[in-house]
Amino acid sequence: MDYFGIKEHSIKGRYVTHRNIEEYLKASNRSFELEFLGPSVLGHSIKSVTLGTGRIRVLMWSQMHGNESTTTKSVLDFLNFLNTGTEQAVKILKNCTVKIIPMLNPDGAARYTRINANEVDLNRDAQNLSQPESVVLRRTYDDFKPHYCFNLHDQRTIFNVGSSPKPATASFLAPASDPKRSISKSRKKSMQLIGAIQLQLNTYIPGQIGRYNDTYNPNCVGDTFQALGTPTVLFEAGHFPGDYEREKTREFIFYALVSALETIAENTHLDLDLSHYTDIPENNKLFFDILIRHLDAVDPSFRNKNSVGLVYQEELKDGEIHFRPKIEMAGDLTDHFGHQTYDCRNPKDLTALEQQTFWKDVKP
């Protein structure tokens, strides 16, 4: 597959806004049905794009959290793919009807925040439906009556896979539908579908696929839709080494979407053993963006707190996302990993550290 030829090159980076989506939709000469679903708190239009004529209805939504934009980029790439006329795309469009909400929380996206303009987390509003964006999603779900739902998110760089030193570049979850986390009919289908996705995705990022925590929360949209009997899959776009703009992860999530829809179109997942899902290691939080080891080599008094882990704080400034490192933890961090690691016993690492602006906040 020629991903570079499919990729929507007009939108890149972490800061993806309502304007980007509107410009894409206006400029696109693709064949799809565009529908206005309702306004956000601040009056931005929330729209859906629908393609295909098949009997299997698939609903997906992205950027429910405004600062989680990777899957939005993947969704636009996927829209481009569905209009390529390839055998894969034609098969999906023949067997499925796909409705996509590229950006559910345009107000949060503009401010690069998780919450909406009323400071509500839309993924904790599934029962109260207190926000217009929540109402839009639930009304779309009720009207469309999907056979499958994809809840598309980003996850932080802190996640690794199990106890391994590999980042969770993509994570998935078949949400629970009750506090006992029973395997209902719909949840079983979700698990089987994820099993099929990971078999394909593992060829691209072996060992970098995680399974998200399945604690039941009825206020979460995925748990609610699962409880209503609709197989629902949570996608979490995570970190790929060196990819803080999430352009490589974007590509892998695109492959996951293609794999998922092709699987649904052919129903090839329904006989798949659940072990393909349950054997996916759970996410863990053992990564720092920057890990500095052996501070006692600089100052012996730090022997009991000889490692420091820093995590980037993402800040929106002048239309760009800036990454500011902040100390997250200090102490014995031998069981942790760093996307970038410095060892103070190594003269080259120490020299490199002295050139970093954050070193003044860490130096003993």
Residue-wise pLDDT tens digits, 64-78:
999 999 999 999 999
pLDDT at 247: 98
Neighbours of 329 (CB within 10 A): 14
Neighbours of 73 (CB within 10 A): 29
Residues recorded for the chain:
364
Average pLDDT of the segment spanning 313-329 = 95
Residue type, 75: V
Q: Say if CB 261 and CB 58 are below 8 A apart.
A: yes
Q: What separation in angstroms does the CA of 99 have from each of 117, 140, 147, 317, 346?
A: 25, 9, 11, 33, 54
Q: Say if CB 252 and CB 228 are below 8 A apart.
A: no
Share of the chain above pLDDT 90, in %: 93
Q: List pLDDT tens digits, range 140-150.
A: 999 999 999 99
Given a cut of 70, whether residue 8 has pLDDT beyond it is: yes
User: How far is residue 20's CA from residue 364's CA, in Å, rounded to a whole number?
Assistant: 45
pLDDT at 96: 98
3-state secondary structure of 185: helix
Given a cut of 70, whether residue 29 has pLDDT beyond it is: no
pLDDT at 31: 76
Q: Say if CB 237 and CB 250 are below 8 A apart.
A: yes
Average pLDDT of the segment spanning 183-206 = 97
Q: List pLDDT tens digits, range 264-302.
A: 999 999 999 999 999 999 999 999 999 999 998 888 877
User: How far is residue 215's CA from residue 176's CA, in Å, rounded to a whole number?
Assistant: 7
User: How far is residue 227's CA from residue 217's CA, in Å, rounded to a whole number?
Assistant: 11
Query: What domains can be seen in the chain, in order of their start residue?
Result: 3-284 (3.40.630.10), 287-362 (no CATH)
